[in-house]
Amino acid sequence: MKIFSESHKTVFVVDHCPYMAESCRQHVEFDMLVKNRTQGIIPLAPISKSLWTCSVESSMEYCRIMYDIFPFKKLVNFIVSDSGAHVLNSWTQEDQNLQELMAALAAVGPPNPRADPECCSILHGLVAAVETLCKITEYQHEARTLLMENAERVGNRGRIICITNAKSDSHVRMLEDCVQETIHEHNKLAANSDHLMQIQKCELVLIHTYPVGEDSLVSDRSKKELSPVLTSEVHSVRAGRHLATKLNILVQQHFDLASTTITNIPMKVGKQHANTSANYDVELLHHKDAHVDFLKSGDSHLGGGSREGPFKETITLKWCTPRTNNIELHYCTGAYRISPVDVNSRPSSCLTNFLLNGRSVLLEQPRKSGSKVISHMLSSHGGEIFLHVLSSSRSILEDPPSISEGCGGRVTDYRITDFGEFMRENRLTPFLDPRYKIDGSLEVPLERAKDQLEKHTRYWPMIISQTTIFNMQAVVPLASVIVKESLTEEDVLNCQKTIYNLVDMERKNDPLPISTVGTRGKGPKRDEQYRIMWNELETLVRAHINNSEKHQRVLECLMACRSKPPEEEERKKRGRKREDKEDKSEKAVKDYEQEKSWQDSERLKGILERGKEDLAEAEIIKDSPDSPEPPNKKPLVEMDETPQVEKSKGPVSLLSLWSNRINTANSRKHQEFAGRLNSVNNRAELYQHLKEENGMETTENGKASRQ
């Protein structure tokens, strides 16, 4: 079925009853000439618009945005309701422009406040709106003509936007019931007509507007389904700028629009500030597909509050200095018409004229750091302005990216070969002969292919360093058959043989292909490697345990082999203790050799060398007959008295090295007094060399006498 969405037809029903002539009570300053006013002239009082004027302006702004972005296939029909229904235009493309609507509204004029309110009703306009939705548009007629005998497959949907001043919630329910009954009646008429179409879906949007400062008598209500054909929602909005904001939000919701704010637009401020400029912002509306790249990349930080209030969000893009010509061709992935939110403001007008003169503006994403990213471009084509989406990622015209440039950084150990084999095993082929399931139902080939793909990917690591069993040739017989939907006795036997071979490998303490990428040292011990391998193998088997009963037998064999006897566990513990002891010993020897051994050995070597030199010198002086004995020479320490560092076959501790060093230093510092060594009864005779030289003898009174 070719479905025309609700946005294809939009009917505006605006209340033209006397109460719509009431003031909205939102004042507008009319007399703006505050300066240079002649004294004695009373300033003009502020004015306020009527509810009718606010409704017409807001609805025209809705139509303007729709026509700017969707000049074709989005149609509007305008109806004014008072004592009767006045249809201002038709579904033809010639009537779809603001000039026609504004001229028709000017002919209608404002509501008459002195008219009889009992003769006026919004119901006339709602009935006419349903009747209008049943009429065929040019696009629907073209689609029905192409389908010929299948013309009934063309859908008919529409939306009714009613702006009125309701009395209460019960009044709103009465309007909804009226629309529902009218749709039911006109669908019966359309079923027997070639020029009418039945309404398959209709959205009713009731907008209750009231003056500023008054309390609302109608409560808001979200979209509610009243029947399979009709849905309704109610909005209670104050008149003036609040009504304009509400319709601005609704047009975005109805036509899937999004907002983009262009910031830092340089603009001259005026003649009084010559050669100066200021930066302004302009908000644009366009189709939301222009932001699809932001949503995919997750750049939610680009969003912010719109100038229309907290209920709208906008994407902020920064103005780039435009180029002087438009010759450069950018790689563009989409182009969408735009419409300024505030079309009459000076910044919007200047930006529009700038673009219509043939200039292009590049827009970049605001970033706190890094290089700037040009994501969009504004340019005009044939008098219409488009927002171009530029490719900020890799182009499809470039070479395909390397498989190592995946998510999470650069990965270089993907299982590329295994993945190629995986794709070869899961290719789709023509399925000619029908097959039936166990319950007798026909098996759908596509569903069977999806089921097989799901089984093969229940456990399939993508990176070599994240798996052990898929790097082992010994596990291939089990891993290739465990993914089957059912196993044969031979498959079960092969799986059991594979498990027994792994047990034998563990008993022989064979090495496993454990990846050490990103780890320091030798990596996990052999027992830890096998524990990782058994856990991964159990994960693989458990992922397919529900396939059949024979899969359960494979798991039972695996669990039985994993539960080792007590003597085996004790042997493993002793082996682990011995390995830990050897590791500690090797570590101590290594630390000793690298840090302390060379320093202490150099110090001891220097002490021994100096001791040998002093001993040789003392022996030479003593054996010489002509050389007198030095008067104050300290006795030398014999080499035998020097404490020798005991050489140990094993590693020497740091405490032993330090104690030997301290003892050696203290033995050299402490020397015995020479006089005490030569004394008799602890009495030493002084000046013996003088007595020997002069042949004199010292008396007790201190006088010398010659002998």
pLDDT digit string, tens, across residues 492-531:
999 999 999 999 998 888 888 876 655 555 667 778 888 8
Nearest Cα neighbor of 251 from 159, 317, 331 is 159
Q: Max Cα separation, the chain?
A: 172
- Among 2-16, 157-171, 446-460, 614-628, the range with the most confident prediction by mean pLDDT is 157-171
- Residue 638, pLDDT above cutoff 80: no
- Residue 631, pLDDT above cutoff 60: no
Looking at residue 444, its pLDDT comes to 82
pLDDT digit string, tens, across residues 296-327:
665 544 555 555 544 468 899 999 876 655 55
Is residue 338 helix, strand or coil? coil
Looking at residue 660, its pLDDT comes to 87
Looking at residue 465, its pLDDT comes to 82
Q: Find the mean pLDDT for residues 221-230.
A: 94
Q: Lowest-confidence range among 354-358, 486-490, 571-575?
A: 571-575
- Residue 432, pLDDT above cutoff 80: no
- Among 86-100, 585-599, 654-668, the range with the most confident prediction by mean pLDDT is 86-100
pLDDT digit string, tens, across residues 615-630:
454 444 444 444 444 4
- Residue 588, pLDDT above cutoff 80: no
Q: Find the mean pLDDT for residues 132-148.
A: 88
What DSSP line would sit under 411-451, residue for residue? ---B-HHHHHHHHHHT------S--B-TTSPBPPHHHHHHH
Looking at residue 443, its pLDDT comes to 77
pLDDT digit string, tens, across residues 381-392:
989 999 999 877
CA distance to 191, 635, 641, 675, per residue, from 632 (Å): 140, 9, 21, 10
Using CA atoms, how far apart are residues 684 and 676, in angstroms rounded to an integer?
A: 7
pLDDT digit string, tens, across residues 30-47:
666 555 566 667 777 778
Looking at residue 695, its pLDDT comes to 61
CA distance to 279, 345, 466, 483, per residue, from 354 (Å): 15, 14, 58, 65
State the number of CA atoms in the 13 A half-sphere of 495 facing the CB: 27
CA distance to 138, 144, 150, 176, 191, per residue, from 153 (Å): 16, 8, 6, 28, 14
Give the amino acid at 450.
K
Looking at residue 636, its pLDDT comes to 45
- Residue 284, pLDDT above cutoff 70: yes
Q: Find the mean pLDDT for residues 540-556.
A: 90
- Residue 116, pLDDT above cutoff 90: no
Which DSSP category does 307 fall into? T
Looking at residue 89, its pLDDT comes to 94
**Both tokens assigned to 549:** 């009963």
Averaged pLDDT score across all residues of the chain: 80
Looking at residue 333, its pLDDT comes to 86
pLDDT digit string, tens, across residues 103-114:
999 999 999 988
Nearest Cα neighbor of 327 from 359, 364, 373, 363 is 359
**Both tokens assigned to 334:** 């989409």
Beta strands in 366-422 (DSSP E): 373-381, 384-390, 405-406, 409-410
- Residue 342, pLDDT above cutoff 80: yes
Looking at residue 147, its pLDDT comes to 75
Q: CB of 206 within 8 A of CB of 175?
A: yes
- Ordered by where they begin, the domains of the chain are 9-29+44-255 (3.40.50.410), 259-301+311-390 (no CATH), 412-431+442-516+526-565 (no CATH)
- Among 401-405, 643-647, 650-654, the range with the most confident prediction by mean pLDDT is 650-654
Q: CB of 263 within 8 A of CB of 366?
A: yes
Q: What are the phi and psi torsion angles at 8 (to 5°)?
A: -65, -40
Report which of residues 100 and 652 the model is more confident about. Answer: 100
Looking at residue 641, its pLDDT comes to 43
Q: Lowest-confidence range among 236-240, 444-448, 630-634?
A: 630-634
